[in-house]
Every structure is written in C-alpha cells, then in structure tokens.
Amino acid sequence: MARLNHDALSEAISTAVGATPDPSGEADLVFDKGSIKGSIIVASETGDLKAAFKRAKKINGYRWVAINREDLFGANPLSLGSKAGILDAAGKVLKNADTPRRKV
C-alpha cells in the first residue's frame, strides 16, 4: 500500500472503523463500536508521531493513533506510557490500546 497523507489516512481509517470527525477537537476522529468508544489521532508522517502520542495522553477513554503501517517501528516506542493503541489505514490493530485510566 502506498504511503497516505493526512487526509487520505483520515478517510481510510474513517471508512475502516466507521469513525467521524471529533466535534470537541481533542482528537481527529471518534468512533463508537458498541461497548468500545474511542478517539483517534492521525499521524501520517514520522515527524508527527511524537506529538500524536503526547496529544493522545490527554484524551480520556480509549485512544488510538492511526499511522502508515511502515511507521510501526518508529511509533511503537513512542506509545509506551501513553495507553494509546496503534491502527493502520485498514483499521487493523497493530498494538492494543490499554484500558482507560480511572478518574480519581
């Protein structure tokens, strides 16, 4: 699969998981699959990965970062501690999201 830019990756992941734009602006996309509701940050370039995971840490609930599959080795170390999962353009889970943190 060819490398996708931000708009193409957003459209592909929206189609794959049934996501819609996030009205709050915290994330790029949101989705609701029954018992799982989640937020998706789109990082189409390797330079966007660090900021995407930093942004994901601030979001409550399940959070995912959508990447181009070939960026997995750069994205995985950045995901540590963020509780964010990683999705590719087809919606395939490359790394599971951790259970959301409980608010104290």
Domain ranges in the chain? 6-95
**Taking all residues of the chain, what is their mean pLDDT, rounded to a whole number?**
91
Among 36-40, 77-81, 99-103, the range of highest mean pLDDT: 77-81
Chain-centre distance for alpha carbon 36 = 14
The pLDDT score that the predictor gives to residue 2 is: 83
The pLDDT score that the predictor gives to residue 14 is: 95
CA quadruple 57, 63, 68, 72: dihedral positive or negative? positive
* 3-class SS of residue 37: strand
Task: Compute how many other C-beta atoms are within 10 angstroms of the C-beta atom of residue 101.
Answer: 10
Q: Is the pLDDT of residue 51 over 90?
A: yes
Give residue 55's pLDDT band: very low, low, confident or very high (50, 70, 90). very high
* 3-class SS of residue 72: helix
Residue showing tokens 């193409």: 8
| pTM of the predicted model as reported, rounded to 2 decimal places | 0.91
The pLDDT score that the predictor gives to residue 101 is: 65
pLDDT digits over 15-37, tens only? 999 999 999 999 999 998 776 77
Query: What is the CATH architecture of 6-95?
Result: 3-Layer(aba) Sandwich (3.40)
